[in-house]
A = this chain, B = another copy of it.
């Protein structure tokens, strides 16, 4: 599933990465490549490759005569999709979900405003289709179908914005929405008001009304933030 389960190297990463992001090794902890290689029963070459990747994520720092030291959380590359996945799967899942939702609330309204100006005909069509799909699955515990269209909707918005940085947040948003559906919140059926807002955003984008698209998307964001506050005040 995860992009990094290929090969021994991927397996090591898939174990050590989550352990570090979960805080099992507090900042400043020192690991030694040789010892890790023994523990995971892999050769030093494999272990070194794994450490190099962790280093490129700024999770650890490797120094001669010292070893591999774990860096403080404030230095991690928290935008790395792999790091995000690890953290979402681990102990500070709530905090991660929270900070990602705040990020969404900042980015998506602006993205929607841009989408209204730059979306292609196909993107408008896909957007409307997704919104209608959400409506169709909004009643009667059809959570999976709803999620599918919800993800598609936000993906289109982010891509249609024409900004590559926004577009690359599509996976993150997908992860957040999936998390919300499968774990924490999500009572019986989605909030009808939110569903309506999506439909209206699709309309605004289709009509090229950037300001309205932005304002409506901001309302959706406020709703998402409130959902979080209700759960963990």
Which A positions have Cβ atoms within 8 angstroms of B? 4, 9, 45, 48-49, 52-53, 56-57, 73-74, 76-82, 95, 99-100, 102-103, 105-107, 109-111, 114, 163-168
CB < 8 Å neighbour of A52 from B53, B78, B79, B103:
B53
A173–B9 Cα distance when bound, in Å, is: 34
18 contacts between A and B (CB under 8 A): A45-B45, A48-B49, A49-B52, A53-B56, A56-B56, A56-B57, A74-B164, A74-B167, A78-B164, A79-B168, A95-B164, A102-B110, A102-B163, A102-B166, A103-B165, A106-B106, A106-B111, A106-B166
A163 touches B49 (CB 8 A): no
In the docked arrangement, what's the CA distance between A57 and B58, Å?
Answer: 12
Contact B102 A165 (CB under 8 A): yes
Most buried by B among A45, A56, A74: A56
Q: With the chains together, A44 CA to B145 CA distance in Å? A: 48
Nearest B residue to A221, CB-CB? B110
CB of A90, distance to nearest CB on chain B (Å): 15
CB-CB under 8 A from A56, the residues of chain B are 4, 53, 56-57, 80, 82
Residues of B within 8 A of A105 (CB): 110
